[in-house]
Amino acid sequence: MIGNFDFDVIRRALPYLFFEGMRFTLTLTALAAFGGLVFGTLIALMRLSGYRLLGRVAGIYVDFMRSLPLVLVIFWFYFLVPYIGQWLTGASRPITVGAFASSLITFIMFEAAYFSEIMRAGIQSISRGQPAAANALGLTYSQTMRYVVLPQAFRNMLPVLLTQTIVLFQDTSLVYVLSITDFLGAASKVAQRDGRLVEMYLFAAVVYFVICSAASFLVRRLQARIAIVR
Amino acid sequence: MIEINHVNKWYGPSFQALKDCTTSVAKGEVVVVCGPSGSGKSTLIKCVNALEPIQGGDITLDGVKVNDPRTDLPKLRSRVGMVFQHFELFPHLRIVENLCLAQEKVLGRRHDDAVAKGMKLLDRVGLKDHAKKFPAELSGGQQQRVAIARALAMDPIAMLFDEPTSALDPEMISEVLDVMVDLAREGMTMMVVTHEMGFANKVADRVIFMDRGEIVEDAKKTDFFGQPRSDRAQKFLSKILQH
Amino acid sequence: MGTGTYLDLLLSGLVVTLKTSLLAWIIALISGCVIGVMRTLPSRTASWIGFGYVEFFRNMPLLVQLFLWFFVLPELLPKSAGLWLKQLPNAPFWTAAIGIGFFMSARVAVQLQAGISSLPRGQKQAATALGLTTMQTYRYVLLPMAFRIILPPLTSEFLNTIKNTAVAITIGLVELTGEARSMQEFSFQVFEAFTAATVLYLIVNFIVATAMRFLERYVAIPGYIAGK
C-alpha cells in the first residue's frame, strides 16, 4: 500500500482543501471563540454576581451543556435554529438557516459554557487576601475588580483559554456529521470521490497535527513567560 | 562507618553545591552538621545514602562504596535510617502501616512480625495509642517521632537526620530532641543536620560547620564551642546563640 | 411503531454507549497510567517518550483519529491482517473503544503526571531512603496519593469518554446519539427522540458524578486536606 501512495491526489486537491475547507474551519473557529468568549464572560459574571436566581440559571445552563455530547448538540441546534429564527422574527414558517450560521450558533452556545467555567476558575483562583487588601486601601468594588483581581485572573486563565481554543479548532471537525465542507469534510469528499481514503485522511491528520502542535507549543512558551513574570 | 572523601557536586553546569568535602563518622559517633541556609549541609547528608548523586570523590558506608554503579542501592539505603525536615510520613497509610511498609516490602518480614516490631517502637516514642490513626491526625512533633520510629524499624546501622526540628512549632521541638538524645546515648551512629546547638552540646562528639558548599570547620565539640577557628563559624555561632 | 419500541431503541443505544465507553476507559486508564508515570521518571528517554505520546494523541481531532483507525490502519497492514480487520464483526465498536481509549489516555496521562508532581518531593525521597525500589515507591507511596488527588478531574475525563462515544457515529457505531438521529430520519419525531436522548445523557451524568462523589468520600484520608 505504501508503494502506491499517491501524492498527486493530495497536490491536486490542495486548493480545494485549503481555500474551501480550511477557510471554513478557521473562520468558524475564530468566530466561535470570539462569541464563546463574549457569552462565556456574561455567564461567568452571572454566576459570580451574587444574585441567587441569576447564578442558578447560569449554573444550570453550564451543567446542561457540559453533560451533552457535542454531536448531539450539533443535531439539536441544526434542528432547532430554524424554529428559533421563526420565533424571533415572527415569520409564519421556520426560516431557512445556512449550515455555516447553524454551526456557528451551535459552537458559540456550546463553547460559552466551557469558557465561562475557565473564567470563573480564573477569578476564583485569586486569593481572598487580594480583594481584602485592595478594599483596605480604599478601592471601590469596581476598582478592585478592574485594577487588582481581573488583571491577575486574566493572566492565570489566558493559557487555559488558548488551549480550549485549540480544542475548539479540533472540535469544529465534527460539523462532518452535517456533511459540511470544513477541512476534514473537504478531505473526506475528495477521498470518497477518488477512492483515496488513506492519502486524504493521513494528510488531514498531518495538517491538524502540525497546526495544533505548533499552537500548543506557543501556548506553553507563553505560559512559561507568564510564570517567570509572576 | 561513614567515609566522605573529596566529594564534589554540581547542580547544572555552573552551581557547585559541594566543594571537596571530606569527613567521616565513626561507629557510635554523633556528628552535628550546621551552617547557614544554602551552605550545602542538607545536600551533603542526602549524598550519604545516594538520594543525591555526586560528581566527584567517594562515599563509603560500612565498607560499601555508595557511588559505585554496581552497589545495590535499595539494600544499602534500607540499612541507614533517614529522618526528614517535613517528616514525610505516607499520608494514605495508618501510623502502624507506615512502620510496616518497608519492613515487609524491603526486608521481607512477615506482617505479624512487622506489626510487633512497629508497636514496640511506637511504644518507645510514646505513641502506641496512635497506631491506628492517619498521619494528618497527629501533631508535627508526634509525626516526627513516628518518622524516627519508622526509620528505627529497619534496624539501621546508622541514622541520618536532615533538620528534624526546623519545621516544628517551638513547643514540640523538645519531644523530638528527647528521643534523639536517648538514641545517641544508646550508642547509635548519627549524622545530624541541625541548628539546635543545645542538642549538639549535650550529645555530639564532633561538630561540622559548612558554608557555601565547603566544610569550613570539623572539630571536637569542646573545641568548636570553646573557640571556633574560623571567622565564619564564629559569626554564625554568635548569630544563633544570641537569642 | 409505538412509543415502547422507540424507547427500546434508545435504550439499546444507551447500552452501546456504556459498553464502548467502559472499554475505552479501561484502555485509557491503563495506558494513561503507564505514560503518566513515564513522564515523571528521572530518565530523559522515558519522559520524552511520554511527551511524544501525549502530543501525538492530543493534537489531532478525535474524529480524524477514528478515521485513521477505521479506514487507514487496515490498508497499511499486510493484506491478510488488513482483510481480517475489515471483516471483524462489530468493527465500529472495537475501533471506537480503542480509538477513544487512546485519545483519552493522553488526557489521563496529563492528569496523573500533574497529580504525581503535586506531591512533595520528600515523599519520593523518604520511600527511596527506606530502601523501596522505584517500582515499589510508585506502587505503594506515590500512586495511591496521586490517584486520590486527581479523582475529581478523572471523573470529568470519564464523563468526557462517555460523551466522546457519540463521535463514533461517523464510523457507523449506533450508540445513543446515533439511535436518536436515525429515528429522526425515519419517523420525523425529532423533538421527542432528541429530548429522550438528552434526558438519558443527563441521567448517566448524574449517576456517574454521584457514584464518584461516594468513591471520593470512601477513599478520603482522615485529617488530610488536599493541597496542604
Q: Is C123 on the interface with B (CB under 8 A)?
A: yes
Residue to mutate among C123, C130, C147, with most B CBs inside 10 A, is C130
Q: What pLDDT was estimated at residue C228? A: 42
Q: What is the pTM of this model?
A: 0.89
- pLDDT-derived band at C227, boundaries 50, 70, 90: very low
Please report the number of interchain residue pairs, chain B to chain C, with beta-carbon separation below 8 angstroms: 87
Say whether C59 and A212 touch across the interface (CB within 8 A).
Answer: yes
Question: Per-residue pLDDT for C1 more than 50?
Answer: no
How high is the pLDDT of residue C206? 95
Is C144 near chain B, with CB under 8 Å? yes
Kindly report, residue by residue over B121-151, the tens digit of the pLDDT. 999 999 999 999 999 999 999 999 999 999 9
Q: Do A72 and C194 touch (CB under 8 A)?
A: yes
Q: C223 to chain B: which residues are within 8 Å by CB?
A: 133-137
Neighbours of C2 (CB within 10 A): 7
Cβ pair B150:C130 closer than 8 A: yes
Confirm whether C81 is domain-assigned: yes
pLDDT greater than 90 at residue B185: yes
Q: What is the pLDDT of residue B8?
A: 94
Please tell me whether residue C46 adopts helix, strand or coil conformation. helix
CA distances (Å), B104 to each of B78, B99, B109, C124, in order? Answer: 12, 9, 5, 18
In this structure, which amino acid lies at residue C51? F
Which chain A residues touch C184 with a CB distance below 8 Å? 75, 79
The answer to whether A72 and A173 are in contact (CB under 8 A) is no
- Kindly identify which residue of chain C lies nearest to residue B85, measuring between CA atoms: C122
Q: How confident is the model at residue B113 (pLDDT cuts 50, 70, 90)?
A: very high
d(CA B67, CA B4): 11
Q: Do A174 and C167 touch (CB under 8 A)?
A: yes
User: Which residue stretches of chain B are H helix?
Assistant: 41-48, 73-78, 95-105, 111-124, 140-152, 173-185, 197-203, 221-226, 231-241
Q: What is the pLDDT of residue B117?
A: 96
- Give the pLDDT band of residue C3 (cuts 50, 70, 90): low
What are φ and ψ of residue B56, in 5° steps? -150, 150
What does the pLDDT read at residue A229?
A: 63
Flag whether C225 is in a domain: no
What confidence tier does B90 reach under pLDDT thresholds 50, 70, 90?
very high
Contacts of C166 in chain A (CB under 8 A): 69-72
Looking at the partner chain, which of A68, A70, A205 has a beta carbon nearest the beta carbon of C64? A205
Q: Residue C129 and residue B92: Cβ atoms within 8 Å?
A: no
Whether C227 maps to a domain, the answer reads: no
pLDDT at position B72 over 50 = yes
Q: Quick check: A176 and C170 CB within 8 A?
A: yes
CA pair distance B118, B121, nearest whole angstrom: 5
Residue C228, in any domain of the structure: no
Residues B146, B147, B149, B151, Cα dihedral to 10°: 160
Which residues in chain A show pLDDT less than 50?
Answer: 1
Instruction: Report d(CA C161, CA B79) in Å as an integer.
Output: 47
The answer to the question of residue C122 being in a domain is: yes
> CB within 8 A of B162, min separation 6: which ones?
B42, B45, B46, B82, B83, B84, B85, B193
d(CA C138, CA B141): 27
Angle of helix A7-15 versus helix A197-229 axis, rounded to 10: 70
Instruction: For B196-233, write each residue's pLDDT tens digit.
Output: 999 999 999 999 999 999 999 998 988 888 877 788 88
Neighbours of B, requiring at least 3 CB pairs below 8 Å, are: C
What percentage of chain C reaches a pLDDT higher than 90?
A: 75
Count interface pairs A-C at CB distance under 8 A: 99
Position C161 in a domain: yes
Residue with cell 480509538: C99
Q: For the residues C39-54, what does the mean pLDDT come to?
A: 95
C145 vs B contacts (CB less than 8 Å) = 90-92
CB contact under 8 A, B106 and C125: no
Grid look-up 497536490 returns A11
Dist CA B181 CA B167 (whole Å): 19
3-state secondary structure of B216: strand
Q: How far apart are CA B131 and CA B142, in angstroms?
A: 11
pLDDT tops 70 at residue B29? yes
Q: Does any domain span residue C156?
A: yes
Our count of domains for chain C comes to 1
Q: What is the pLDDT of residue A228?
A: 65
Of B84, B101, B136, the CB nearest to C122: B84
C187 assigned to some structural domain? yes
- How many angstroms away from the CA of B92 is the closest CA of chain C? 6
| Average pLDDT for B39-48 | 93
Q: Write the ipTM.
A: 0.90
**CB–CB of C140 and B134 under 8 A?**
no
CA distance C49 to C35: 8
- Find, in chain A, the residue whose alpha carbon is nearest to that of C178: A72
Q: Do C122 and B137 touch (CB under 8 A)?
A: no
Pull the grid cell for residue C73. 490502519
Reply yes or no on whether the pLDDT at B159 is more than 70: yes
Give the structural domain span for C8: 3-219
pLDDT tens-digit readout, A10-65: 888 888 889 999 999 999 999 999 999 999 988 998 888 778 999 999 999 999 99
Residue C104 maps to which CATH number?
1.10.3720.10
